[in-house]
Each structure stands twice: as C-alpha cells, then as structure tokens.
Structure 1
Amino acid sequence: MKAFLSLSVLFAVIRENIGKPTVFDLRKYPLVYVGDDITLACKGAAEPITWKINAVEQSNKNSIMIVMMVTPENNGKYTCQKNGEESDPFTLTVLVLEPHAQLSLPIGGAVITKGEARILTLQVDEDLEKWKCFAFRNNVGYMLPVTKKNKNMGTVYAELQDTERATFWCMKNKTNHRSNALTLKMTERLVMLEPPVAPVWRDETITLRCAVWGGAEVIQAEFYKDNVIVNKKRVQRDKYKITNATELNNGEYKCIATYKYSHISSAAATHTHESDPQELKVIGGPPVAVLGIDNKGSLQCSCKHCESVCKTYEWYYTDNSGTRTKLQEETKHEINLIVGGSYICRAACQDGFSRFSTPHVYQRPSYGVGVAVAVVLASILMLIIILVAFKCRRSAVNGTGQR
C-alpha cells in the first residue's frame, strides 16, 4: 500500500521552522460531518507553538491538534502561532448530516488485538468503480484496495499495522462525496471492551460488550464508568445496555470478565482479567426521517427537523434475500407500495442526508387466498338468503292454512 505523497511530504516538514505557519487538515476530508475526528497540523512552526480556536488560546503546544468526534460546537477559525507570527485561519464547518455512502463493520468489534484485522463493508448508491478507500495511521494517509461484491457494495481489509488506532473512510473520485469514517483501536489485553464503532447519537440504544480473545466463555462481567461500577440491573452476563443515551453517559468505560475456555476443555480453569478503558461520547446527530402510511396505503417520508436545503427524498427497498436497492425514480415524499419487502427513506440535502427512517415491512396481499375467501363468504351469504326465503315461504303457507 502506498502512502499519499502529499501527506508524507507534509508530515516530514511539519516541524520545520520555515516561513509563515500554516494550518492543514491532514485527513484531507472534502467535507466534515458530525462525529468525524479531525487532525490539524501546523506547518512551518517548530514546537512549542500556540494554538487558538476563535482567538482563544489552547493548552496544546504540539504541532498536531486532534479534535475528536466534532459537532457544530467545534465550528470556527483555527490558527497556530510561533515567535509572534500567526497563521491564516483554518475554518472548520461541521455538517450535521449523514455522508453519501455507508462504511460499516458487520462482524467483530472496533477493538482488536495486535495482528488482527477487520473486513469493512462499503455501501454506495451508484457504481462502486469510482470509489476508493483510505486508512489514516500515524498521521499519514494510505490508499486501500476495494473488493467489489456487486455494483453497489464492496469490502475493505482494515488493519492497524502496529499502530494503536487507525481511521478508515472512502471517497468518490473527483467529487466531495465520501463515506463516514470508522476507527479501529488496538489492545494487548485478553479482555476487550467493545464500544460502538460509529458515533453514538443522542437517544440511541448502546450495547457495550465485554469480550475475551480466542472465543472464551464469559461467565460474568462487571462494567465500570470512570472507575465506578455501573447499575448491575442493566448487565446481562457479558453485555451492558444503555437506552435513550444522553451526554450524561459520556465517560471512560471498562469491564472485568470472569471467563474460561470451555470450548477447548470442559475442565478449563477460570480466569478474571480487566480490559483497557474505552471512551464513550454521545453527541447530537443528524435529523431522522420519519416513515408513515396514509389511509390509502401509500408510504410518506418526512423530516421535521431537516433544514430548508433538504428538498427531496430517497427511497430504498430490501428484498427477502437482504439485497438493498435504491428506487432511482422516486424522489418525492410519497410512494405507492407495489412489491413486498422492507422500505426505508431519508431526506436528501445539499451536502448529505438525514438519518434513515425505521423500516416499514410490506406484505403484498395474496389474491388467490382473497378470491377463495370471497367465494366462501358469498356462499355463506347465499345460504343465509336461501334459508331466510325458505323460512318466509313456510310462514306464509302456514298462515294460509290457518285461515
């Protein structure tokens, strides 16, 4: 894998004290979305330097500034200064939207042991051919190959290569379209606390898992937040569940697992070890689309908290095999249900999207069964009519005889 020349050269000269200082975004994101990690570098200024955000001096004196999981609160002008000379401002603008593609981790957690790797899945709406993926390790970017599974989906082999953490994302050639970013972290311990891979949005449900390398059976796990044990009622053996997450749930979490390798031997010894601490940060995410159905059976998509630039909608259909397809012709807020399956929608905005709605599962009526039911009902109705007519006729005859 080949590092970007521009990033390598930039990193090599960061500590040089040549000319006016300049602030660069090392990750080279064309657009910054809520939840991204940002790495800024001060070129042309030897340490120690002075960083300012919106003219407020920061405690960081290094040539690198990392801003984790950005929100609009991080918006503003970033400058660095050395020997009284200050750089031009770098303006950070965070979009509270979802990016154009989804990078996900279908199997495994975001914390891995040394030498392990993960397979990431890239899902796009158009042809995958124009998309490339990247890794960001030790402040240097690397291009990664994408293995194509079908027209809209591919996989990426993600490894740390002896670094403690690395970030992965994908971009479409000659556009500002990109995917979300995923960060993998390394641990050298047998016990691992697995935090969510993606940023945690406010009001979501979070599940933290205490795992053990090698597939050991976790007999019992204790979870701690900022070194204080959490409510045991929310712990189910190796999992800790947080519902309706808020910023009050932010902090450093760890777990202590009691486990044994029972799949190797029924007489395996029991061990107890502790995980590395992992930071959990809950932030306000993009607005969520809402999917409803009217009295005519049509699906309607809306986004109450979307901005005015969100003027159209995107619809997706998932069949029984699990294949997701974008309904290219549908851009309005309403569609008619024709084919059975699962439907989701999102609002399309100028530089991104709202979050997806919850899915609506549609089961197309079986007309064969409907016809059969109609025939049975018609037969019952006919029988009732015959019986009523017979009874009326019999009553009339009896009445005539009495006279």
Structure 2
Amino acid sequence: MRGITHLLLLAAFVLLGRCQLKPHVTMSPELKEIFQGDLFYLKCSGKSNVIWYFNEEQLPPTSDTWKIGVAAPKHSGNYQCESNQQKSENFNIKVLDYVPIASLTIETGHPVVRRGDSVTLQLDNEDGLQGWMCWVYRGEKSKKIKLKIKNNTVSLVFQVNRLSVPETIYWCSNDTQRRSNQITLRTSDKDISLEMYPLPAVVGETLTLKCLAWGTDQISHAAFYKDNGILSSGASPTHTISNVTESAMGRYRCQATFTYTINPPGAPYQVTSEDQDVFVQVPPLLRAFLSSGMSCSCPHCPNSSPYHWYKYEDRQWAAIGSSPPKSGGTYACRAVWHIGRSSLSNVVNIISDQPPILIILLCVMGGLGCILGAVVLFRYFRKRTGAIYEDLPLRSADENYEMLQKGAQREGEYDLLQAGATGGQRRTEEYEALNKDEMKEGVYHTVKIEGAEGAEGGYEALNKEGMTGGEYHTVKIKGEVGAEGGYEALKKEGMKGGEYQTLGMEGTGGGELGGKKDRD
C-alpha cells in the first residue's frame, strides 16, 4: 500500500514539474484590439532552444521573442512556442482589417532622433477626446500618460519625455476599447540617420527614404543600402521607391559625405547610419471608394456606416464633416463606425465652376473703378482742350476776318494781320525783297506793309553811317491819307540831365499827339 502511495506521489511530482516547465506565450505591449499596422512582440517564457509555431507550422529559427513589425490579417491565428521539448498553449491573435477610430501623428520632430531629444505628438478624434489617455511602451514596460483635456476637444498636442532607449511605442485609448494607431520613435547616437515615414509603407504607394545629417544640410554625396546591397549612390540625399511591393520589406541604411559650415575648411565627414526596418503592408480590405460624382461607398464595411469627408490642406488631411463638399479642392472619404474606420478612399479633385463671391465683388469694383477713372480723365482733358482750342467754322473765299483796329486797343493787346479792309476793298500784301547786294554795311531795310489809298507804312533804314553818337532813329508808321506817325528821335546830346522826351504818334488828317517834357 505504501509502495503504491509513493508511486502516485512520484507521478504527481513529475507531472507538476513538467507543468511548471511548460512555456507560455505573452504579448507586449499588451493590446486589447490589434489593428492593421500595429507593432508588437510575442515572448516565450522558455529561455533555451525556443521554437515558434504558427497554426501548428514551424517558423524560421529565432530567439525567445517573435517580432511582428506590421500586423496584417495574414498574421491572425494561433501561436505556440516550444522550449526543452515542451510546447505552450495556443495564443490566439486576431488582426482587424481596418484602422482605429483615432489618429496619432508626429506634430514636430522626426521618427528617428538623437538620444536625449524629444518630439511632439498630436491626437485627433472627430467624436471628442473626453476620457482618453495615452500609453508609452519602452524597455518591456508600459506606462500611462495622463492628458489635460478640455470639454469638446477633438485635437490635442503633447510633448513626450526625452528619448533614451532604442525604440519607444506610443498609442492612445479610452475605456471603451476605442484607440488610436501607434507611433514608433527610435534613437541613434550617430551623426547620420535614415529617415522614413513613421507609418508602414503600403503596397502600390511611394516610399521615400532620406539620409539626414544632424546639424548640417551640406551633404555632397549619399548612398543607400538594403540588406548589404547598394540601391543608389549620388548627390541626392533621398531615395524614392515607386509602386512599393512586399519585396521592399527589409533592413535599410545610408552613408553620407557631409561638412559643417561652422568649421574651417577641411576634409569632409563620411558616416553610415544605423539599420532601420522598413515594413510593408497590403492596403486594408475595408477601404472606401470615392466616385467622380463625389459619392462615397465601402462595400465591405459594416452596414449603415456613416461617411466622413476630408480635405487636403497644409500637407495633411483635415476632417470637414459628414456632408459631401461643394467647393473646389482635393478630397477623400471613409466609412466610420464604433471602434474603427475604413482606410481613406482614393483622391478626387474638384474644380469650382463659379468663382468665389469675394473675387466677383473685387472684379465688379475694379470694373466700376476703371469706368469712373476714365470718365474723370475724359472730363479733365475735355476741359483743358476747350480752353486752348476753338472750333473755327469753315469760311468761304469771300469772307474776311474782322480787323482789330490798332487805335482801339490798349497796351497789352495784340493786332491781327489784316486780310482785307473794312470797306470790302482788297488790300495787297507784299514783302519787299531784301537785296543783299543793295544793302550797305550797318543798314537794314525792313518789310513795308501798304496801308489804305496811297498810305504807306514801313520801317526807315537805320543807317549806321549817318547815326551820331547816342542817337537812335525809331521806326515810323504811316497812317491814313497824308497822315504820318512816328517816334521822335531821342538825342543824347540835346537832352538835359533828368529830362526825357516822350514818344509822339501822328494821328489822322495831320493831327498830332505829342508828349510833354517831364522835368525834374
């Protein structure tokens, strides 16, 4: 009896020992829901000779940790680990084929930073952020980040602590299994880093890699490598992969030749970055489709899911509500339900048929201003030209211009040349030729103009030879018949001090009008 009891106790201890040695699988960070694109680790409690199984098929050899860098529906299933010939229980994973309800993005900074640096993150949820919190996973531990959220807040920016470990994962959630996507930040101690979009690359889209030098942009040469094979080499610090396929997944690095402008001229630096994992995911099955007529649909989404609209502004998608847009711009849509959303639809550009009201008003005001300015200028020049020019009526050959008589004018008035006499008789005008041969030195003959009936007017010759010192003969103008008018000579010799003779003008019919002598 005692022997049987000892055997039973021995079997129990052996079974207990085997149970204690049986490994088990855990997940970190611990996620209640796994969305497409998530990063997480499966860890086996066994530490030696670990073998992984997925849906009872053995996976390639690895360590006690199995990393899933970008979750996809194909990763859904049962996972087991084996250690010391002991298999764990099944650990079931279900990856949802859509994106979470909220968005977490990098607001400032880079996905790869220098050790000790920080970035700011932005959390957005169209239904509000009341009751939300964020989580950080670093060094195999998850910690809660409390957010200061005001009522009706749909967007919040916060700064993370200084980064000191190679990899840190952030995400946000509330108490109803609603959460955001993840953001993974990495650190590097080198002066060169390989930058890429913080979210996984998507099949069919474009992936851009950039070689970044800390503290300078003076990169003269850059080379990009994938799994020890060179991809490109040249002066450009970027490398673009168009139409990404699943074969693009791998480990990438870059090597850059650069200089610092603050240093004196010298040999440039050449540094190789640390390796970075590039993960590629297939577009989610639950994806919305936007037609050219701005009709949004999602055949595989939950029934009666509402659609939200987004406009591309300032290099990011901004939510604009649940009604289709009517103005011009670049738009996309997606279906939304309780815990998730479809991926964004294809992009449609709308060109507005009608210009904005402000532009119309500006055009109308501009046109009215031009018309008003034209009217003002027309009146201004009309007024100026009317004061200078007069329209003269066309006269016949027999019409004469009325004579402005010289005797009726006063000083400052102007005489017009007469084309005919007031009595209707034609007057002849002639210019006597100035014969150079008949002119004597110092004598100038002036032009004679004939007056009425034998009257003759002209300028008498100024004879230099007959002039005495200080004596000047003035010009004589003959008036009516027999009348003679002229200026008396001013003789310097016959003038007394302070005495001046005035000019006399002969009137008609021998009348004489003279000036008296003014004496001191």
- Compute the TM-score of the two structures, normalised by the length of structure 1: 0.73
- Alpha-carbon distance in 2 for matches of 1:55, 1:67: 18
2:278 alignment partner in structure 1: 280
Query: Which secondary structure state, in structure 2, belongs to the residue aligned with residue 133 of structure 1?
Result: strand
Q: 2:343 aligns with which of 355, 372, 379?
A: 355
- Alpha-carbon distance in 2 for matches of 1:135, 1:266: 43
Counterpart mapping for 1:197-346 below 5 A: 197-232=198-233, 237-262=236-261, 264=262, 267=265, 270-287=268-285, 288-294=287-293, 299-303=294-298, 306-307=299-300, 309=302, 311-318=304-311, 324-328=318-322, 330=323, 335=324, 337=326, 343-346=331-334
Counterpart mapping for 1:1-400 below 5 A: 18=20, 21-42=23-44, 45=46, 47-58=48-59, 63-82=64-83, 86-146=87-147, 151-159=153-161, 161-172=163-174, 174-232=175-233, 237-262=236-261, 264=262, 267=265, 270-287=268-285, 288-294=287-293, 299-303=294-298, 306-307=299-300, 309=302, 311-318=304-311, 324-328=318-322, 330=323, 335=324, 337=326, 343-348=331-336, 351-357=339-345, 358=347, 360-361=349-350, 363=352, 365-366=355-356
1:13 alignment partner in structure 2: none
Structure number with greater Rg is: 2
Deviation at 1:161, TM superposition (A): 4.0
Q: Is contact 2:48–2:84 with CA below 8 Å preserved after alignment?
A: no
- Compute the TM-score of the two structures, normalised by the length of structure 2: 0.58
Query: Which secondary structure state, in structure 2, belongs to the residue aligned with residue 169 of structure 1?
Result: strand
Q: Is contact 1:344–1:356 with CA below 8 Å preserved after alignment?
A: yes
Q: Is contact 1:54–1:77 with CA below 8 Å preserved after alignment?
A: yes
Q: Is contact 2:328–2:349 with CA below 8 Å preserved after alignment?
A: no
More displaced 10-residue stretch of structure 1: 315-324 or 69-78: 315-324
- Alpha-carbon distance in 1 for matches of 2:205, 2:56: 35
- Alpha-carbon distance in 2 for matches of 1:175, 1:112: 33
Deviation at 1:359, TM superposition (A): 5.6
Deviation at 1:134, TM superposition (A): 0.9
Deviation at 1:124, TM superposition (A): 1.0
Structure 1 gap ranges (5+): 1-16, 377-403
More displaced 10-residue stretch of structure 1: 344-353 or 58-67: 58-67
- Alpha-carbon distance in 1 for matches of 2:218, 2:78: 50
Q: Is contact 2:26–2:44 with CA below 8 Å preserved after alignment?
A: yes
* C-alpha distance 147-41 of structure 1, shift in aligned 2 (>3 A): same
Q: Is contact 1:96–1:285 with CA below 8 Å preserved after alignment?
A: no
* Amino acid in the other structure paired with 2:153: K
Query: Which secondary structure state, in structure 2, belongs to the residue aligned with residue 312 of structure 1?
Result: coil
**Structure with the higher strand share, 1 or 2:** 1
Q: Is contact 1:217–1:260 with CA below 8 Å preserved after alignment?
A: yes
Name the % identity. 26
* C-alpha distance 41-112 of structure 1, shift in aligned 2 (>3 A): same
* Amino acid in the other structure paired with 1:114: R
- Alpha-carbon distance in 2 for matches of 1:194, 1:96: 27
Encode CA deviations 1:90-146: one digit per residue, 9 max, x unaligned: 211112211111111233321111111111111111222221111111111011243
- Alpha-carbon distance in 2 for matches of 1:280, 1:179: 21
- Alpha-carbon distance in 1 for matches of 2:204, 2:350: 23
Deviation at 1:351, TM superposition (A): 4.7
Encode CA deviations 1:324-364: one digit per residue, 9 max, x unaligned: 34525x4xxxx362x66654311235752222132645646
Q: Is contact 2:109–2:118 with CA below 8 Å preserved after alignment?
A: no
Q: Is contact 2:312–2:331 with CA below 8 Å preserved after alignment?
A: no
Q: Is contact 2:216–2:259 with CA below 8 Å preserved after alignment?
A: no
* Amino acid in the other structure paired with 2:336: A
- Alpha-carbon distance in 2 for matches of 1:168, 1:245: 26
Q: Which structure ranks higher in relative contact order (CA pairs < 8 Å, sequence separation ≥ 6)?
A: 1
Which runs of structure 1 show a deviation greater than 6 angstroms over 4 or more consecutive aligned residues?
Answer: 319-323, 368-373
Number of corresponding residues: 341
More displaced 10-residue stretch of structure 1: 285-294 or 135-144: 285-294
* Amino acid in the other structure paired with 1:212: A
Encode CA deviations 1:255-299: one digit per residue, 9 max, x unaligned: 11111122x3574752221111222222202144332333xxxx2
Q: Is contact 2:76–2:94 with CA below 8 Å preserved after alignment?
A: yes
Q: Is contact 2:200–2:281 with CA below 8 Å preserved after alignment?
A: yes
- Alpha-carbon distance in 1 for matches of 2:60, 2:317: 49
- Alpha-carbon distance in 1 for matches of 2:162, 2:38: 19
- Alpha-carbon distance in 2 for matches of 1:223, 1:84: 43
- Alpha-carbon distance in 2 for matches of 1:113, 1:219: 22
* C-alpha distance 209-66 of structure 1, shift in aligned 2 (>3 A): same
Structure 2 gap ranges (5+): 1-18, 368-520
* Amino acid in the other structure paired with 2:288: A
- Alpha-carbon distance in 1 for matches of 2:104, 2:246: 25
More displaced 10-residue stretch of structure 1: 105-114 or 309-318: 309-318
- Alpha-carbon distance in 1 for matches of 2:40, 2:198: 17
* C-alpha distance 227-51 of structure 1, shift in aligned 2 (>3 A): closer
Q: Is contact 1:160–1:166 with CA below 8 Å preserved after alignment?
A: no
* C-alpha distance 64-317 of structure 1, shift in aligned 2 (>3 A): closer
- Alpha-carbon distance in 2 for matches of 1:255, 1:62: 27
Q: Is contact 1:166–1:183 with CA below 8 Å preserved after alignment?
A: yes
Q: Is contact 2:221–2:236 with CA below 8 Å preserved after alignment?
A: yes
More displaced 10-residue stretch of structure 1: 61-70 or 186-195: 61-70
